[in-house]
């Protein structure tokens, strides 16, 4: 019986179907139940507090139930079946969601990027011609380049300097918490905070500048300026916000790398009479090179996708537009899905080298 | 102590002073922007426009002490002499510092014939503070306030209170659901054998840096077809989908390092993978779960783009409500600052209370784009 090839094929076939069933049908059923419930919740007008609690319990409980029920069902099956299907209780829902929300959309966006704004007619590479040659897009590319170069340079070098210095202070943790705190603040919140710093009221009798930057400029004998409306310098005033937000991140990661440098290495250099600057450039930097590259890459990708700060501060006006904002404008303001998709594909292509690098690292680690 | 050691010690002292000095300076720059917003959020809107927020701290400033009525027979078009000092009307209008340090300013137009005298004095902390700004931002009802010119303005509030509740309704499930799904998946990848295991995990690693813009257009199409836009479910699923690669990756790194012997004895006892997962793996992975939970919570709470796209203007979360204040009431700083602070308060508390876990999660996840 075991050698019956026909049975083997049937078994293979049925178990494949079973796997698909577990991975797709069960999450789908859960989704259907939750879906109708939420459309009901959205359209009702009861106490908001109640809706929030019901929503949380319903959502979290529903997902938990999904796992319990599928497992219960599969444990009822014969052993052979059970062993084949069980792994898919665990990875099935994750694969279904990743497929729906990231993997398949990548290909759908690729197709959309060759279609017109209504996503019905194929227009060839028109959208890419727009995305790569239009004046608006070229400006966005230039600005993203500014963000990537200066934003990354200042966040990483400032983070490195603070990490090295804080390592020598007794109050290391206090300093670090302060620098790190903006990480908890949303970009929109940070936008308001810095908008207040840059605010400009102009000249006139009895008008006081209430923005810190203009107040400082006036004390130093200058005249107040509408900082955010003067291209190209306004880009740098926006980049400052990102540096303020991200330096905490680079500092923490680099700091732990610095603490990993063997103390004997530094001691030996000091005994040899090297000064601190020499140690910094010839020992610390080469030792943490790998971490420096990782951190810089993370910030680079981050500045490539930057959206919120520009959206809140200037809306992309006054020559501050960036790629992600133009994506938003194309899709949601002008309703052009084709152009938006082409821009999204360009963003994707820009991160492909990092993706390949990650995959290569992963393969070298031999985690599997 | 030898001379050399002594000089080395002195040198250390100087360098420590230098290091701390520079760090304190940087920290001040880092704190001042937030401090300004915090102080402003407690000031009356007319005060906000009269002086910068730093005026709420002790400083030397001009205080109006008396008024001088000008003799009506004075020729206001020629040079005007007040208390022995002569200037033209325009100069008086802009304010003149007198020899004794007082400042005289002509008030109003030429016919008012009134000069205000201000003395330079030490001023203490501003005591004229209020909580009304917070009340005004939290409510969705009509609010009224006085603007910089002294006019009373009536506006509709931005209902940040409701937005706060919505943010909670979005963030809690959008944190728990991906962690749950990711923990199950990570266990499956780490300890169970199934066809396609390696391929699927390679896809997870590849998806780590994919920008979420790539998914917005097609997903929005799906949601429109399913009539899902504006529901909490829609945004939870979106956040789950976008957060899953990192979550699975982090949980896998952690769960795959759990000692094999620990699990093997359970397998021998005949426990099912499900029991092993819930009874053994989950309790053991609490540190990793907590790290990612904080990471994801802050990310979801502070997210603006995903909420903007999938929830729209009907169901606003704190970030989109704050952005709406920026758009509608960009100069009403008393509302903007208090709104900004309301949006920051919860993540700041979570962050400060659990920053150790947060840092750990961040270190492990520094590959994410």
Mutating which of A102, A203, A208 best tests the B interface, going by the most B Cβ atoms within 10 A?
A102
Separation in Å, CA A336 to CA A119, A130, A331, B117, B236: 9, 12, 5, 62, 26
Domain ranges, ordered by start, for chain B: 3-40, 59-123, 160-364
A196-233 confidence digits (pLDDT tens): 899 888 766 567 778 888 888 888 887 888 888 888 88
Give the pLDDT score at B149: 67
Give the pLDDT score at B26: 93
Q: How far apart (Å, rounded) are the C-alpha atoms in residues A305 and A301?
A: 6
**pLDDT in 10s for each residue of chain B, 369 residues:** 455 555 666 667 777 888 899 999 999 999 999 998 898 888 888 777 777 788 777 777 777 777 887 777 777 777 777 777 788 777 777 777 777 778 888 777 777 777 888 877 777 777 778 888 888 888 777 777 776 666 777 777 778 888 888 898 889 889 989 999 999 999 999 888 888 888 899 999 899 888 988 999 899 989 988 888 888 888 988 999 999 998 998 888 888 888 877 777 777 777 788 888 888 888 888 888 888 888 889 889 999 999 988 988 878 899 999 998 888 877 788 888 998 999 999 988 888 888 777 777 666 655 443
Total beta-carbon pairs less than 8 A apart between chain A and chain B: 360
Give the pLDDT score at B89: 78
Distance from the Cα of B72 to chain A's closest Cα (Å) equals 24
Give the pLDDT score at B159: 83
B192:A208 CB<8 A: no
Nearest one of A167, A327, A367, A349 to A252, comparing CA atoms: A167
B369:A351 CB<8 A: yes
Give the pLDDT score at A1: 40
Nearest Cβ partner of B226 from A35, A169, A252? A35
Measure the N-to-C terminal CA separation of chain A; round to a whole number of Å: 34
Q: Which residues of A touch B180 (CB under 8 A)?
A: 60, 63-64, 67
Nearest one of A88, A311, A35 to B184, comparing CA atoms: A88
The DSSP string of A20-67 is: HIIIIIHHHHHHHHHHHHHHHHHH--S-HHHHHHHHHHHHHHHHHHHH
B160-364, superfamily in CATH?
Answer: MetI-like (1.10.3720.10)
> Which helix or strand (DSSP H or E) is residue B308 part of?
helix B305-310
Distance from the Cα of A168 to chain B's closest Cα (Å) equals 7
Q: How confident is the model at residue A244 (pLDDT cuts 50, 70, 90)?
A: very high
The pTM for the full model equals 0.83
Mean pLDDT, rounded, for A135-148:
92
CB-CB contact of B280 with B263 (8 Å): yes
Token code pair at residue A70: 């599928």
Mean pLDDT, rounded, for A69-89:
80
For the cut 80, the answer to whether the pLDDT of residue A40 exceeds it is no
Q: Checking phi first, is residue A366 left (phi over 0); if not, alpha (psi -120 to 50) or beta?
A: left
For the cut 80, the answer to whether the pLDDT of residue A175 exceeds it is yes
B27:A178 CB<8 A: yes
A284-306 confidence digits (pLDDT tens): 888 888 888 888 988 998 899 88
Cβ atoms < 10 Å from Cβ of A81: 15
Q: How confident is the model at residue A368 (pLDDT cuts 50, 70, 90)?
A: low
Q: Which residues of B touch A162 (CB under 8 A)?
A: 23, 26
Burial bucket for residue B73 (CB in 10 Å: 0-12, 13-18, 19+): exposed
Q: How far apart (Å, rounded) are the C-alpha atoms in residues B322 and B158?
A: 8
Query: Across all residues in chain A, what is the average pLDDT?
Result: 84
Separation in Å, CA B358 to CA B99, B334, B352: 60, 32, 9
Q: Which residues of A touch B298 (CB under 8 A)?
A: 183-184
Distance from the Cα of B330 to chain A's closest Cα (Å) equals 9
Distance from the Cα of B298 to chain A's closest Cα (Å) equals 7
Give the pLDDT score at A2: 45
Q: How far apart (Å, rounded) are the C-alpha atoms in residues A308 and A191?
A: 8
- Ordered structural domains, chain A, with CATH: 5-112 (no CATH), 141-308 (1.10.3720.10)
């Amino acid at each position: 019986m075991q050698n019956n090839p026909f049975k083997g094929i049937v078994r293979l076939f049925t178990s494949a179907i079973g796997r698909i069933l577990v991975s797709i049908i069960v999450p789908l059923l859960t989704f259907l139940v939750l879906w109708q419930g939420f459309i009901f919740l959205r359209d009702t007008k009861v106490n908001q507090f109640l809706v929030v609690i019901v929503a949380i319990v319903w959502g979290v409980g529903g997902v938990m139930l999904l796992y319990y029920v599928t497992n219960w069902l599969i444990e009822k099956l014969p052993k052979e079946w059970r062993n084949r299907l069980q792994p898919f209780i665990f990875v099935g829902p994750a694969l279904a969601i990743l497929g729906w929300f990231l993997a398949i959309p990548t290909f759908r966006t690729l197709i959309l990027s060759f279609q017109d704004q209504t996503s019905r007619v194929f227009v060839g590479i028109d959208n890419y011609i727009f995305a790569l040659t239009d004046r608006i897009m070229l400006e966005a590319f230039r600005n993203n380049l500014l963000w990537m170069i200066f934003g990354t340079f200042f966040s990483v070098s400032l983070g490195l300097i603070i990490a090295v210095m804080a390592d020598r202070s007794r109050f290391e943790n206090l300093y670090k918490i302060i620098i790190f705190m903006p990480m908890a603040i949303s970009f929109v919140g940070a936008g308001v905070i810095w908008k207040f710093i840059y605010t400009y009221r102009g000249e006139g009798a009895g008008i006081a500048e209430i923005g810190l930057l203009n107040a400082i400029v006036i004390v130093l004998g200058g005249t107040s300026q509408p900082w955010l409306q003067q291209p190209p310098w306004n880009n740098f005033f926006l980049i400052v916000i990102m540096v303020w937000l991200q330096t905490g991140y680079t500092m923490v990661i680099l700091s732990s790398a610095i603490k990993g440098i063997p103390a004997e290495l530094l001691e030996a250099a000091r005994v040899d009479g090297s000064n601190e600057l020499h140690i910094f450039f010839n020992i610390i930097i080469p030792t943490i090179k790998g971490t420096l590259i990782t951190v810089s890459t993370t910030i680079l990708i981050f500045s490539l996708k930057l959206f919120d700060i520009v959206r809140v501060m200037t809306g992309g006006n006054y020559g501050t537009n960036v790629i992600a904002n133009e994506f938003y404008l194309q899709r949601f303001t002008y309703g052009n899905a084709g152009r938006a998709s082409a821009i999204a594909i360009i963003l994707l292509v820009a991160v492909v080298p990092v993706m390949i690098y990650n995959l290569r690292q992963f393969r070298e680690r031999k985690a599997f | 102590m030898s001379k050399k050691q002594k000089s080395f010690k002195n040198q250390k002292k100087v360098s420590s002073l230098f290091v701390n000095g520079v760090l304190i300076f940087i920290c001040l720059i880092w704190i001042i922007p937030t401090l300004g917003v915090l102080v402003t959020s407690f000031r009356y809107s007319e005060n906000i426009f009269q002086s910068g927020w730093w005026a709420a701290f002790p400083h030397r400033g001009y205080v109006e002490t008396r008024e001088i009525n000008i003799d009506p027979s004075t020729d206001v078009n020629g040079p005007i002499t007040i208390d022995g000092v002569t200037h033209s009307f325009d100069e008086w209008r802009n304010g003149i510092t007198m020899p004794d340090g007082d400042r005289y300013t002509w008030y109003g137009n030429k016919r008012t014939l009134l000069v205000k005298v201000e003395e330079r004095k030490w001023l203490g902390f501003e005591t004229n503070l209020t909580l009304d700004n917070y009340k005004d931002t939290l409510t969705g009802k009509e609010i009224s306030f006085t603007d910089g010119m002294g006019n009373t303005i009536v506006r509709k509030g931005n209902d940040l209170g409701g937005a706060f509740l919505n943010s909670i309704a979005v963030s809690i499930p959008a944190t728990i659901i991906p962690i749950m799904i990711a923990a199950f998946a990570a266990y499956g990848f780490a300890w169970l054998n199934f066809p396609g295991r390696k391929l699927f995990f390679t896809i997870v690693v590849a998806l780590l840096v994919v920008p979420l813009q790539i998914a917005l257009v097609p997903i929005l199409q799906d949601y429109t077809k399913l009539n899902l836009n504006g529901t909490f479910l829609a945004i939870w699923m979106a956040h789950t989908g976008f957060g899953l690669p990192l979550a699975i990756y982090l949980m896998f790194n952690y769960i795959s390092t759990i000692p094999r012997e620990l699990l093997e004895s359970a397998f021998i006892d005949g426990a099912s993978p499900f029991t092993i997962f819930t009874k053994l793996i989950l309790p053991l992975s609490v540190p990793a779960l907590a790290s990612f939970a904080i990471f994801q919570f802050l990310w979801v709470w502070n997210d603006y783009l995903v909420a903007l796209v999938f929830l729209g203007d009907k169901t606003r979360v704190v970030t989109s409500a704050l952005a709406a204040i920026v758009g509608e009431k960009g100069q009403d700083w008393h509302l903007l600052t208090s709104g900004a602070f309301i949006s920051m308060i919860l993540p700041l508390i979570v962050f400060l209370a659990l920053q150790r876990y947060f840092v750990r999660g961040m270190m492990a996840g520094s590959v994410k784009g």
